[in-house]
């Protein structure tokens, strides 16, 4: 069994990892970090219009995402693999689940806080509506 756990560093994504490992103790746990280029655009500084900015952003975001996932993986005595993908979080999570033989998704109810969460909507809600496989939402 393969269980996908979207991970963004929030407390609720950490709870989702813990829940997945406890609930699916013999499963392969896949921690997925989504590099959200659209979300990054909302917070982009004025120099984002300069040549090379987005290539540098991608390299930095991918590197920090991999480091974060590796730190989580090392904390648990479980079969955990890590993946990073580029895209809109809800769509990327559902597509990864569909394309990679995932049996279940376990995710936090929200990762963003404040205004950006209201503007961008609930990733968990969208995943629940669009996922062809069972989704457990941890609060």
CB 58 within 8 A of CB 44: no
Rounding to the nearest 10 degrees, give the CA dihedral for residues 139, 39, 58, 82. 20
- For residue range 58-104, list pLDDT tens digits in order: 999 999 999 999 999 999 989 999 999 999 999 999 999 999 999 99
pLDDT at 83: 97
Tokens at 102, concatenated: 């995932």
CA distance 39 to 111: 13
Q: Name the more confident of 37 and 105.
A: 105
Q: With a cut of 60, say whether residue 115 has pLDDT above it.
A: no
Residues 14-31: what's their mean pLDDT? 96
Question: What is the pLDDT averaged over residues 106-117?
Answer: 67
Nearest partner of 6 among 90, 62, 101, judged by Cα: 90
Per-residue model confidence as pLDDT tens digits over 116-136: 454 434 899 999 999 999 999
Fold exhibited by the domain 2-138? Rossmann fold (3.40.50)
Predicted local confidence at residue 63, as pLDDT: 97
What are the tens digits of pLDDT across the range 48-58? Answer: 999 999 999 99
Question: In degrees rounded to 5, what are phi and psi of residue 136?
Answer: -105, 125
> What is the model's pLDDT at position 135?
96
Per the rule left: phi > 0, alpha: psi between -120 and 50, beta: everything else, 9 is left
């Amino acid at each position: 069994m393969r269980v996908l756990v979207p991970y963004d560093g929030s407390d609720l994504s950490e709870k989702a990892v813990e829940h997945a490992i406890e609930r699916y103790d013999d499963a392969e746990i896949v921690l997925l970090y989504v590099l959200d280029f659209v979300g990054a655009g909302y917070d982009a500084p004025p120099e984002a219009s300069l040549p090379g900015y987005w290539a540098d952003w991608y390299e930095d975001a991918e590197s920090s995402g991999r480091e974060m996932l590796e730190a989580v993986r090392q904390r648990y005595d479980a079969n955990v693999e890590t993946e990073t993908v580029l895209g809109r979080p809800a769509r990327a999570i559902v597509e990864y689940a569909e394309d990679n033989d995932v049996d279940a998704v376990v995710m936090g109810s929200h990762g963003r806080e404040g205004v950006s969460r209201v503007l961008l909507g609930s990733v968990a809600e969208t995943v629940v509506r669009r996922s062809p496989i069972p989704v457990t939402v941890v609060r």
